Homo-oligomer: A and B are copies of this chain.
């Protein structure tokens, strides 16, 4: 692409660095911003710089936070003795959006994956164990993606948790709502048969 303005070119190049945004989309976004009021664009730019420089990670659960402790850990209405273990912040947002969970979180910051060179030491696992030691934790819920890395991580952490008398669970695997049995893979269908539920509890949950 040929630009007649280096200001425009720089802005397009910066947008095109973002994941999933190519040069043409970047140009569309920049030309959109060019049409907006100058104050609005200054605000957009400020909010992004401020987000990166001021955002913190919760010292207890490693979720994003405005201060030292995130709004979930500091909320006394939430069950502080239940910890949901997730891979990243996106998973926290996904679970929060269901409005079905009232405990706390622990963000691992990744998942055990020897092929990618990620071992237990690079993840927030030790901090989880020391949380369990210090706090009177009642239950740990694993909400990790259902793949080999997720299962390895669950297995590793579960071994470390054995000395402590706490309930350890994982979110249910099964056929998704709107899914069709005939297109489900054998693994999922098999697991959902093994972990079948009494119809009363299914009906009362709807």
User: Quick one: which of A75-113 are within 8 Å of B by CB?
Assistant: 88-90, 92-93, 96-97, 99
Query: Which B residues are in CB contact (< 8 Å) with A27?
Result: 90, 93
Given contacts A11-B47, A14-B44, contact A34 B52 (CB under 8 A): yes
B contact residues around A10 at 8 Å (CB):
47, 51
Closest partner residue, chain B, to A53 (CB atom): B38
B90 touches A11 (CB 8 A): no
Q: How far is the CA of A58 from the CA of B19 in the complex (A)?
A: 33
Whether A152 sits at the interface, judged by CB under 8 Å, is: no
Is A162 part of the binding interface, using a Cβ–Cβ cutoff of 8 Å?
no
Range of interface residues on chain A? 35 or more
Tell me if A63 is interfacial: C-beta within 8 Å of chain B.
Answer: yes
Query: Measured between alpha carbons, how far is A1 from B14 in the docked complex, in Å?
Result: 27
Query: Do B34 and A51 touch (CB < 8 A)?
Result: yes
CB nearest to A33 among chain B residues: B52
For A63, the chain B residues whose CB sits under 8 A away are 4
Q: Which residue numbers of A lie inside 8 Å of B, CB to CB?
A: 1-8, 10-11, 14, 17-21, 25, 27-34, 36, 38, 41-55, 58, 63-66, 70-72, 88-90, 92-93, 96-97, 99
Give 6 pairs: A residue, B residue, CB < 8 Å, sorted on A: A7-B66, A19-B32, A21-B29, A27-B93, A31-B90, A44-B48
